[in-house]
């Protein structure tokens, strides 16, 4: 069966192309025309216009602020690396911080015990934080570390700082990490913490970090907004 070399553009794709051209002449923070005005301008149904707008939201070109739509800032581009994304963002000249969601001390279940090479029922410290850049909530990170490796962490650690830097001061040096990345949609709680709706695409990064002796340091689950974050990876042959 033959495949057309140039498939026909769908109506919403034509509208998207026009909206991209409109955005090229606007600056971050500028107001974006309403759906009604745009539908009238391009003489298309509101549903067709919404589909094009949805693609712009996912691409990070526009964002919702209450009932208004504005031109978005460029996506945050960070490397996939061993280290703190807060530190990486600040090195790029961006403001970055953390919002504390909560601390807890839990017992390791079978799966977590296997990942961290600890006994089932051993105490694990959990730290959950929201990662922000430019006052925008872009990530939700949950870190689990065996309690015996970091005595007093819950009492003495400033959650706004880099956890990786704190571990280095305690003599814990990272050797390697194993990352698994997939795309997901947030649940209601995650969407609320990141101030988005449940249709916002997310990068889900699951990581297990190891020290230089191959002993697990942490298990981390990170959820990052696909409309605001892009990750890069450098691989040498």
Longest dimension (CA), the chain: 66
Distance between CA atoms of residues 116 and 218, nearest Å: 7
Indicate if 205 and 99 belong to the same structural domain: yes
Indicate if 37 and 89 belong to the same structural domain: no
pLDDT for 108-160, tens place per residue? Answer: 999 999 999 999 999 999 999 999 987 889 999 999 999 999 888 998 899 98
Please give the pLDDT value at position 8.
67
Q: Which of 40, 36, 47, 38 is nearest to 11 (CA)?
A: 47
CATH code (residue 35)? 1.10.10.10
Confidence band (pLDDT; 50, 70, 90) for 221?
very high
CATH code (residue 179)? 3.40.1410.10
The pTM (predicted TM-score) of the whole model is: 0.82
Which residues touch 229 (CB under 8 Å, ≥6 apart)?
Answer: 75, 76, 78, 138, 139, 203
237 belongs to a structural domain: no
Averaged pLDDT for residues 166-195: 93
- Residue 225, exposed/middle/buried by CB under 10 A (0-12, 13-18, 19+)? buried
Q: Per the structure block, which two tokens stand in for 192?
A: 């609320």
Q: Which of 27, 35, 34 is nearest to 71 (CA)?
A: 27
Q: Which of 17, 99, 23 is nearest to 63 (CA)?
A: 23
Q: Where would I find the H helices in the chain?
A: 11-23, 35-42, 46-59, 85-91, 110-116, 153-156, 163-169, 188-193
Please give the pLDDT value at position 3.
52
Distance between CA atoms of residues 178 and 214, nearest Å: 12
4 belongs to a structural domain: no
Indicate if 48 and 119 belong to the same structural domain: no
Check pLDDT > 70 for residue 1.
no
Overall domain count for the chain = 2
Distance between CA atoms of residues 10 and 48, nearest Å: 10
The region of weakest confidence among 43-57, 67-81, 171-185, 190-204 is: 67-81
Check pLDDT > 80 for residue 19.
yes
3 belongs to a structural domain: no
Domain boundaries, position 85? 76-232
5 belongs to a structural domain: no
Indicate if 179 and 62 belong to the same structural domain: no
Distance between CA atoms of residues 218 and 124, nearest Å: 10
Q: Which residue has the tokens 């340091």?
A: 217
Indicate if 214 and 164 belong to the same structural domain: yes
Domain boundary among 24, 40, 71: 71
Instruction: Please give the radius of gyration of the chain, using alpha carbons only, rounded to the nearest integer.
Output: 21
Confidence band (pLDDT; 50, 70, 90) for 107?
very high
Q: Taking a C-beta distance cutoff of 8 angstroms, is the pair 106, 74 a contact?
A: no
| Cα–Cα distance list, 229 to 35, 142, 174 (Å) | 25, 18, 24
Q: Per the structure block, which two tokens stand in for 87?
A: 């530190």
Indicate if 43 and 94 belong to the same structural domain: no
């Amino acid at each position: 069966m033959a495949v057309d070399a140039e498939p026909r553009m769908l109506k919403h794709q034509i509208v998207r192309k026009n909206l991209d051209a409109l955005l090229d002449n606007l600056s971050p923070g500028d107001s974006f025309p309403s759906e009604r005005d745009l539908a009238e301008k391009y003489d298309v149904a509101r549903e067709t216009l919404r589909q094009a707008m949805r693609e712009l939201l996912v691409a990070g070109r526009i964002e919702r602020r209450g009932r208004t739509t504005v031109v978005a800032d460029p996506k945050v581009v960070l490397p996939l690396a061993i280290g703190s994304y807060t530190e990486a963002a600040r090195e790029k000249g961006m403001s970055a911080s953390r919002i504390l969601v909560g601390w807890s001390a839990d017992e390791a279940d079978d799966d977590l015990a296997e990942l961290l090479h600890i006994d089932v029922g051993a105490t694990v410290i959990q730290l959950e934080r929201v990662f922000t850049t430019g006052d925008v909530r872009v990530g939700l990170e949950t870190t689990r570390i065996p309690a015996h490796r970091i005595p007093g962490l819950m009492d003495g650690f400033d959650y706004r700082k880099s956890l990786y830097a704190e571990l280095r001061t305690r003599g814990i040096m990272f050797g390697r990490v194993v990352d698994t990345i997939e795309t997901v949609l947030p649940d209601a709680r995650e969407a609320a913490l990141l101030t988005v709706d449940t249709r916002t695409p997310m990068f889900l990064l699951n990581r297990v970090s190891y020290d230089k002796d191959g002993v697990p340091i942490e298990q981390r689950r990170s959820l990052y907004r696909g409309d605001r974050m892009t990750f890069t990876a450098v691989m040498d042959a």
